[in-house]
Structure 1
Amino acid sequence: MMRITNVSQINELFGNEQLKHPLITLLRPNEAKIVPEIKEKICVDLYSISLKDGSECKIKYGRKMYDFQGGTLICLAPGQIIEPISRAEIKEFEGWNLIFHPDLIRSTNLGAKINDYSFFYYESYEALHISDHEKEVISGVVDSICAEYQQNIDIYTQDVLVSNIELLLNYCKRFYGRQMLTRKHESQDIVQRFEKLLKSYFDSDEPKNFGLPSVRYCSEQLGYSANYLSDVLKQETGKNAQEQIHFYLIEKAKDMLLGTSEPVNTIAYELGFKYPQHLSVLFKKKIGVSPNEFRK
């Protein structure tokens, strides 16, 4: 596996001139001086925001149902894997790819909250599909970023770059919100399938055998990334995936406390808790009283 750890490697790979800022670069792959043949998987330790424009490209980001033909935006966090890419596929990539090193935002407000932008961890088929107007908006921000990092570096350079990157990410968050609203029917279907999955899980012996269901388990069963599933649930229900699991768990515990005479410890084990006291802690946190007090 090829590993890319700095912006300079990206510039060398595509024949970019060594630009004036070592932590950020903008690629237009189909216009690159060198069109590489990438025959192995790549692990990139950089943030990447890519806009695929024009005709459909076969780079293995994948595509699914979408709303607009204007373009597809892909966001990747450091450490994610990109599949091998042929030279022909790179030549077909119309659009741009903004790449920056984590050090650029380290010790900034954006660096402290970068994980709040959960779309960096979505799966490929959960990409953002933007309209022509939205494309103009974000491309304008990217043009400003490009113009800034090509100037001589001064004491304001990092602040200007980071504030523009944050603006770009906030637009992405807004447009993802729009996409989830326009896919209302699909989102409601996800909620129903999630609820059905939890009911099926807790009605079986799986909690006793395998413990509590994790967000990752649920997302894999439904065919989505954990972050995307949580964001859809939050949009539709006001609770993310973990909160939904806890909600269903507490409701199930209430039924067992009032509908059976089993001790609290037994109920905890049947619900998948490794340690019974963990049920009591969670129950009191959510309901305000202990399981025994609730039963009384």
Structure 2
Amino acid sequence: MPRKQNSSQDKKEEKKITPSKTRVKTIEKEQFNILLHDHALEALPYVREGFYKLIFTTERYTFNKKQITVPSVFLQSNTCKNINIEEIQEHEGGFVCIFNSKFIESNLLKKIQNIFKVSSFKNLIWTEVDETKYSTLAYLFQNLFEEYNQIYFENNFKIKSLFQLTLSEIIQLYQSNFPEVEKEASLNVAQEFKALLEKQFPIESPLQKISFKDPNDFAHYLQIHVNHLNFVSKKEFGKTTSQVIQEVITQEACQLLLHTDWSILDICNVLGFEYPQHFNVYFKRNMKMSPLQYRQHHKVK
């Protein structure tokens, strides 16, 4: 396992790298900060309200009664407390990032929050970094640090992109190291999606109208990418997001056709269809007959 070694020359060079005052002010508006820390784990207990903290360290320590002798990462929310870390050798340092939810994309934030919910350590993501990922993460953090300390304002977008990539790499690493946590997180997303869909029904009045009908509507509300929602749906239900939605809406359409005297146009409106012909095509595709045929056929019976 490659480890970060700081020669005296390296330390001298590090001391020369200091953020400019202008740069700090600009980044503070963007809710982000990164520090090269000789004692990275010492920053772990510090919690700034409303912020998250990401630490990449090469230090050796004992965590949860386990000796850690390889590089590792910690990602904690501001509500994470009482982390028991015992050092077992001199500090080797690392990087410390402070950021809040406005600095990262909503779907990435949702992934982090979902993992927090099912993690063994509430509001804390922790994992060892294997040899393959070490060089990638070390490169990303070093680049983040260097870009952050440039004087030029136009680097903001690059810093955001680098940080999103860094977080994505860490989440992927965590999910591969703890597949059972990823499974539970996926199940939580699936349950949230199904609950959001089903709570729109039953429809009690022609004046009522469903708010969510398209997969993108659900993905936006759940703050995840629509492709991830589709992946979770197929994994948990064996069906695509669209298929799950179609089944529930079609079932409600059947109930309204049989148990109300509402017009086809009323039923079309409450189920979120802009035009009756669209509803007719949708219903016929799922039930092999038109809404009117379905109502007449079952009323005769």
* TM-score band w.r.t. shorter chain: 0.3 to 0.5
* Higher Rg: 2
What TM-score results when the alignment is normalised by the length of structure 2?
0.47
What TM-score results when the alignment is normalised by the length of structure 1?
0.48
